[in-house]
């Protein structure tokens, strides 16, 4: 297909509003419900621009990316509202579109009013495919959306050019971990370390983590044990025109109860405590039980912040946590 033909196809898609919106569910594991949907866009099925990569690449090259993204948002919001789907609607937006100086402000808010969706149910999911240099301008743009009631998410954390700095600068409500770190996490301790670190930062910044790209029950089992609550991927639901209304049962191979929390005995060593906190990055505290298994106190992660940074092999395992006065 020649460049001229691609541009002609793009013009026809935009002129005729031939965007197809698909919805992929985001599930909340602890409550066994559909938390929301990410809206994904496709071109016409009989078009060479059907695939999103081709569609958005041509639009970017033609200088019409902002126009295309606006059309995708309109299609997604209307279809989401028509289906009366529950939960949040995640809309993909590129930083370059947000920073487009000639794009009229308030169009998305006006669209939501037309379809009957409050901004509080919409999450602007920032997708990063090109470098972002003007963090201050981007921050100002997103604060403008926050003031109108929208929430912010950063997509593909760990894969973009500056995603960690974006997290630090923008303080999003949601952070989506790039699927590279989810793929095979049950076989890769380093990936578990990465996800554990993300959970720690998220707890400090009061952000919710969404693990995307989950395709295997074994991957989901590890994420459940680590405390990831919001999940997305083919295992839980593929992108489709009709959104999901009810959560499907978890795969039978998932045997870790979500409500189950690890406990420690009164004579637990500091090494055992740190090993547990290391494996369960979501926990702020461990419950202490007596010899009969009855709760008798809590020990908080913050009780030993300095020691928690040391390798477990260098800790005084012969001393119990009780003897060290940690609870």
DSSP labels, 15-34? HTT-PEEEEEEEEETTTTEE
Final residue before a domain boundary, out of 215, 231, 247 = 231
Both tokens of 290, joined, read 């007596």
Domain of residue 276 covers 263-314
- The whole-number pLDDT of residue 290 equals 75
- The whole-number pLDDT of residue 131 equals 58
- The whole-number pLDDT of residue 264 equals 80
Domain membership of residue 320 (yes or no) is no
- The whole-number pLDDT of residue 310 equals 41
Domains of the chain: total: 2
d(CA 104, CA 291): 66
CATH of the domain at 285: 3.10.580.10
pLDDT, averaged per 10 consecutive residues of the chain (327 residues), comes to 85 92 93 93 89 91 91 95 94 84 77 94 83 74 88 75 74 91 92 90 90 93 90 93 83 47 79 78 68 69 51 37 34
Both tokens of 196, joined, read 């554990």
Query: Could you tell me the pTM of the whole model?
Result: 0.76
Are 19 and 41 contacting, i.e. CB atoms less than 8 angstroms apart? yes
Do 286 and 216 belong to one domain? no
Do 119 and 69 belong to one domain? yes
CATH of the domain at 178: 3.20.20.450
Do 162 and 289 belong to one domain? no
Assign 119 to helix, strand or coil: helix
- The whole-number pLDDT of residue 178 equals 86
Distance of CA 19 to the CA centre of its chain: 24
Do 149 and 269 belong to one domain? no
Are 244 and 232 contacting, i.e. CB atoms less than 8 angstroms apart? no
- The whole-number pLDDT of residue 247 equals 76
Do 302 and 218 belong to one domain? no
Domain membership of residue 256 (yes or no) is no
Do 295 and 227 belong to one domain? no
């Amino acid at each position: 297909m020649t460049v001229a033909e691609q541009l002609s196809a793009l013009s026809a898609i935009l002129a005729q509003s031939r965007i197809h919106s698909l919805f992929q569910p985001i599930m909340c594991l602890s409550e066994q419900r559909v938390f929301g949907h990410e809206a994904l866009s496709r071109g016409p099925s009989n078009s060479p621009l059907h695939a999103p990569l081709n569609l958005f690449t041509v639009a970017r090259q033609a200088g019409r990316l902002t126009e295309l993204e606006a059309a995708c948002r309109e299609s997604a919001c209307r279809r989401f509202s028509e289906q009366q789907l529950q939960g949040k609607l995640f809309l993909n937006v590129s930083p370059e579109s947000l920073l487009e100086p000639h794009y009229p402000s308030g169009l998305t808010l006006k669209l939501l009013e037309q379809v009957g969706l409050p901004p509080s149910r919409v999450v602007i999911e920032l997708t990063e495919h090109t470098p972002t240099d003007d963090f201050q301008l981007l921050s100002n743009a997103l604060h403008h959306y926050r003031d109108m009631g929208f929430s912010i998410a950063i997509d593909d954390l760990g894969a973009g050019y500056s995603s960690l700095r974006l997290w630090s600068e923008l303080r999003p409500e949601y952070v989506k971990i790039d699927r590279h770190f989810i793929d095979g996490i049950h076989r890769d301790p380093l990936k578990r370390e990465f996800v554990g670190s993300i959970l720690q930062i998220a707890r400090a910044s009061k952000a919710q983590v969404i693990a995307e790209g989950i395709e295997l029950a074994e991957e989901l089992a590890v994420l459940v044990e680590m405390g990831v609550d919001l999940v997305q991927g083919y295992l839980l639901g593929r992108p489709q025109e009709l959104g999901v209304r009810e959560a499907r049962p978890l795969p039978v191979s998932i045997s870790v109860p979500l409500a189950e929390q690890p406990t420690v005995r009164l004579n637990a060593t500091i090494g055992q405590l740190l090993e547990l906190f290391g494996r369960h990055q979501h926990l702020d505290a461990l419950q202490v039980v007596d010899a009969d298994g009855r709760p008798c106190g809590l020990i908080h992660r913050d009780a030993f912040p300095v020691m928690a940074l040391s390798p477990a092999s260098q800790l005084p395992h012969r001393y119990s946590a009780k003897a060290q006065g940690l609870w």
